[in-house]
């Protein structure tokens, strides 16, 4: 069974901004694409907002709207033909709305390994606001979610080109929860021959503001900064042992700001991070930081929902085990 990537579309140009990124992932991993459009059951796509009671004539033009939805998806699929990908299209209904429909489809199709979607979209059918749909999918998705931020003036050219990932940024907070994005990033970097930058933040600014570069090898840890530096060095070694090009960045400052700043410095093309993280230090930031990064970053963000049943390392020591991977 071929593995697949689902790309939710609402008929808007903004939603289509996820397509070059979905194509890049599909080509790198030899996956198929499923272009999915979800309508609210019983409500006309042109007017009814989510949860509203459909007007008396709600079904009057439904068949034509459904046919138009199929035509739209087929048109998008034809634009992807030059990539020689296995592309399926699907128009479906869900009484709870697009986000619930996307999650329901994913849960019923184990071959789906990734959702790729825009974080903003305003359909020509006017009621699918992609920002809120993306956030709902983020909170509920059992599989990795690739979010691509699009602006009001963004529009794909008629000829779609695949995104190019040469530099991956992986935020870590010292927890095995955060590390669940590491295996996925490593596998992706290996396929794409991309550089990996591991970044961590020390939120509290000490009296000495200068932060030395993380060590190349693990040394005895004496404080939080040293623990994180050792942790980064250790994970750098694991990825380097697989033949990957890896560097580390450890900086003071609010985690979201550090992630975004380092992303600019290293010219990252993609951020890969877990949606939850918990350090043994005791810090708690990756869970709440993920949405901040998505909202503020111009880069696509690949989010891995961390699993709860993971053994934590002993507090105060750099983690030396292997996280439960969520790879493709």
What is the pLDDT at residue 232?
A: 94
pLDDT tens sequence across 227-249: 888 999 999 999 999 999 999 99
Q: Which residue has the tokens 């329901």?
A: 104
d(CA 303, CA 174): 17
What is the pLDDT at residue 305?
A: 81
261 compared with 276, residue with greater pLDDT: 261
d(CA 194, CA 188): 8
Does the domain at 167-304 match CATH 3.90.420.10? Answer given as no
DSSP letter for each residue of 235-247: HHHHHHTTT--EE
Domains 4-148 and 167-304 share a fold: yes
Residue 312 has pLDDT above 60, yes or no: no
209 compared with 196, residue with greater pLDDT: 196
pLDDT tens sequence across 45-79: 543 333 334 455 554 566 777 788 899 999 999 99
> Among the ranges 48-52, 205-209, 269-273, 280-284, which has the highest mean pLDDT value?
269-273
pTM above 0.75, yes or no: yes
Cβ–Cβ < 8 Å for 52, 43 = yes
What is the pLDDT at residue 324?
A: 31
Q: Where are the domains of the chain?
A: 4-148, 167-304
Strand partners, 37: 91
When pLDDT is cut at 50, 70 and 90, the band that residue 313 belongs to is: very low
> Which CATH architecture is the domain 4-148 placed in?
3-Layer(aba) Sandwich (3.40)
When pLDDT is cut at 50, 70 and 90, the band that residue 136 belongs to is: confident
What is the pLDDT at residue 109?
A: 96
d(CA 229, CA 165): 26
Residue 82 has pLDDT above 60, yes or no: yes
Please report the beta strands in the chain, taking only residues with DSSP state E, as ranges in sequence order: 4-8, 32-40, 87-94, 112-118, 145-148, 167-171, 195-202, 246-252, 270-274, 301-304
d(CA 49, CA 127): 6
């Amino acid at each position: 069974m071929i593995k697949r990537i689902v790309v939710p579309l609402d008929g808007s140009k903004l939603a289509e901004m996820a397509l070059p990124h979905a194509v890049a992932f599909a080509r790198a991993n030899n996956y198929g694409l499923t272009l999915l459009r979800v309508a609210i059951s019983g409500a006309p796509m042109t007017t009814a907002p989510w949860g509203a009671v459909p007007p008396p004539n709600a079904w009057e033009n439904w068949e034509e709207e459904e046919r138009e939805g199929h035509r739209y998806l087929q048109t998008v699929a034809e634009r992807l033909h030059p990539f020689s990908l296995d592309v399926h299209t699907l128009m479906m209904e869900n009484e709870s709305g697009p986000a619930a429909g996307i999650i329901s489809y994913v849960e019923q199709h184990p071959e789906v390994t990734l959702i790729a979607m825009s974080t903003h979209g305003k359909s020509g059918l006017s009621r699918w606001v992609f920002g809120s749909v993306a956030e709902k999918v983020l909170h509920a998705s059992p599989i990795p979610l690739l979010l691509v931020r699009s602006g009001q003036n963004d529009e794909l050219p008629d000829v779609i080109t695949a995104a190019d990932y040469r530099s991956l940024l992986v935020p870590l907070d010292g927890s095995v929860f955060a590390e669940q994005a590491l295996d996925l990033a490593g596998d992706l970097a290996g396929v794409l021959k991309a550089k990996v930058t591991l970044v961590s933040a020390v939120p509290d600014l000490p009296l000495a503001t200068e932060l030395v570069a993380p060590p190349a090898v693990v040394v005895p840890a004496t404080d939080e900064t040293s623990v994180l530096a050792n942790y980064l060095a250790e994970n750098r070694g694991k990825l380097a042992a697989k033949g990957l090009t890896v560097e580390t960045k450890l900086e003071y400052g609010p985690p979201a700001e550090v992630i975004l700043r380092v992303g600019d410095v290293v010219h990252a093309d993609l951020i890969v991070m877990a949606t939850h993280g918990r350090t043994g230090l005791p810090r708690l930031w990756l869970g709440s930081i993920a949405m901040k990064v998505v909202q503020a970053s111009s880069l696509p963000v690949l989010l891995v929902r961390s699993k709860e049943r993971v053994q934590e390392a002993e507090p105060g020591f750099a983690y030396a085990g292997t996280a439960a991977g969520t790879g493709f």
